[in-house]
Structure 1
Amino acid sequence: MQILALSVPILAVIGIVLVIIFLRKYTNNERMALIEKGINRSEWLAGGGLDQNNLSLRLGFFLVGIGCGILVGELLREFAGFRPPVAYLSMLFLFGGIGLFVSYLIEEKRNKDK
């Protein structure tokens, strides 16, 4: 039991470090590809990349989805008899994904209108 209690924080820190490393590597690869193609980063962002409006839209819908997931998870736990981890985690992932999908649809509609 003590090994499990000790390994969870260690694995969490290792996971966070790996995510940061891979994000930095991806960003560097992306910049190198833009340099090879001769594209300025500000031009790329203006041409449909991830600008601040899209980021706010994604984050907003994702957080609304997470909130709905917590609410529905609580309802499932209370009235349908689901166990708490199953109810909460399944609904968090489901509604978070639905929020990201809705933001994607709105971004595509905006890009089509441009």
Structure 2
Amino acid sequence: MSYKCIWEGVKTIESKHTRNSSSTCPICGFRLKKYPNGLVECGKHGLMNRHVVACLNLLRWEGVVRPRPLLECSCEASPNEAPFGADEEKAWSRRGEAASPKCNTEG
């Protein structure tokens, strides 16, 4: 892997800290609940991809990056808004869920 990074001009970092890299929340440090589909869940920050969590933890432990939550507000599911002033139809998924989250910043 390192030789491919050298070809592309990407800096590599070797971490000695690999234990629990995908089972600890990179934002708050709490233990994550694992699911069989490659997702992990933090009680405070919700669902995340296990591989992304591991990468963020390794970068954090090496002092490269300090992960923060993507949204600093409460979010709730709501229907998509129709683009370009078209009829306001609700866009729902096949399972009946709202298609996109809508951020509530007043909250």
Q: Structure 1 length as normaliser, TM-score? A: 0.27
Higher relative contact order (Cα pairs below 8 Å, separated by 6+ residues): 1
**Greater percentage in helix:** 1
TM-score normalised by L of structure 2: 0.28
